[in-house]
Amino acid sequence: MNKPQNEYGVSTPRNKNSFHPMSTTLHIRPSDCDRFGHVNNACYISYIQHAFAETLIDTKYADDWKPDSEFFWRLTRLSIEYRQAAIFGDLLEAHTWLIDPVENQPAFGCEILKKEDGSEQTEQSVIRHQALWQRICRETCETSLINQAFLRQFPQNGGNLPRAFKLPPDNPDLKRYILEHKVMRSEVEAGGFARPQAIYNWLEEGVFDASAEAGWTPEQRLASGVLIFQMRHDTEFFAFPQNGDTIRIISRLAEVKRFRGTWLQEMLLMPQQILLLRDYSTGIFVNLEGKPTSPSKGSMRNIQFGECGSLDEM
């Protein structure tokens, strides 16, 4: 009988052990929050990385996080679903577990929970994510196989995973928006490559720049009573840029539904035009009271295809 498959195309083990997921307490810093006072979406990527690193430290892989280590860990695929906002002062706890013990690319899950009064009875899901990780030899840049005995140390009982993501249809007529950026030293981690959080900051800027170029600035959205909250990211990583590299982000509004929109973003290393990642960024449209709403069809067509319809046209 075949094992069930998840959205990553890898089999999910049937035999779950009795261990609880590994827990990491997360402390929100004021600098993690955006102008609304919420933890910025990109900061959750650092929280996920922190929880994963703590998990590896607990399982005797602490040396992999040193700059002179023989190996380092790299994300190759990530799905993250944003469930609700967190603010400075909230108590967060990340639960990490192994989903599939593939030796060259194990799949891990993580759910970050908010505890209203520090008790399990008041836990609320903040984000859910599923990721594929590789252990890379720093000298050869080749993937290292991970011993099954090591993988068995991880708990295989966990929380909830993000829902399956359906790719939007491909449309060659979508308007392309370009953002270029030179990687700065402050955006690079110990291994010499760009921090995942920095990459998601660039992607967010790419969406805001594209919308503004099409005439839908944050001020205009607010004036029309529309806000956009991040709903999820679904990302495939092929390589990471390094300090001093120039990257180009190509953004296209791939799909618009009644209450949500999905951007397709590709990041290239310039001038070689090497594809570094592909991301689908989905946001939900809400009104000023936080209820789902629909933006004007004219504004959406203008962003998608460059058509000059009325921004107020429904």
Over the chain, what is the mean pLDDT?
A: 87
pLDDT confidence of residue 312: 45
- pLDDT single digits (tens) 218-240: 888 888 899 999 999 999 999 99
Q: Scanning the structure block, which residue is given the tokens 């590299």?
A: 245
Cα–Cα distance measured from residue 64 to residue 138, given in angstroms and rounded to the nearest whole number: 10
Q: Crossing angle, helix 43-58 and helix 196-213, to 10 degrees? A: 160
Instruction: Determine the 3-state secondary structure of 180 from DSSP.
Output: strand
Question: Strand 22-27 vs strand 107-115: parallel, antiparallel, or unpaired?
Answer: unpaired
Query: In this structure, what token pair is assigned to residue 272?
Result: 């070689």
Structural element, H or E, at residue 209: helix 196-213
- pLDDT single digits (tens) 247-303: 999 999 999 999 999 999 999 999 999 999 999 999 999 999 989 999 999 999 999
- pLDDT single digits (tens) 300-311: 999 999 875 444
pLDDT confidence of residue 22: 86
pLDDT confidence of residue 58: 75
Length of the chain: 314
pLDDT at 17 over 50: no
If one compares 148 and 305, the residue with the highest pLDDT of the two is 305
Query: pTM for this structure?
Result: 0.88
pLDDT at 5 over 50: no
Question: Is the CATH number 3.40.50.1820 carried by domain 22-151?
Answer: no
Share of the chain above pLDDT 70, in %: 89
Handedness of CA 299, 300, 305, 310 (dihedral sign): negative
Cα–Cα distance measured from residue 25 to residue 94, given in angstroms and rounded to the nearest whole number: 6
pLDDT confidence of residue 117: 66
The ranges assigned to domains in the chain are: 22-151, 177-305
Contacts of 166 (CB under 8 A, 6+ apart): none
The model's confidence at residue 13, banded by pLDDT at 50, 70 and 90, is very low
Judge whether 22-151 and 177-305 match in fold: yes
- pLDDT single digits (tens) 180-202: 999 999 999 887 899 999 999 99
In this prediction, residues 155-162 reach a mean pLDDT of: 84
User: CATH: 2.60.40.1120, 3.40.50.2300, 3.40.30.10, 3.10.129.10. Which one for 177-305?
Assistant: 3.10.129.10
pLDDT confidence of residue 118: 57
**Side-chain half-sphere CA neighbours of 40 within 13 A:** 19
In this prediction, residues 116-135 reach a mean pLDDT of: 84
Cα–Cα distance measured from residue 229 to residue 232, given in angstroms and rounded to the nearest whole number: 9
Which residue, 51, 127, 28, 25, is CA-closest to 84? Answer: 127
The model's confidence at residue 153, banded by pLDDT at 50, 70 and 90, is confident
pLDDT confidence of residue 313: 43
Share of the chain above pLDDT 90, in %: 65
In this prediction, residues 107-118 reach a mean pLDDT of: 86
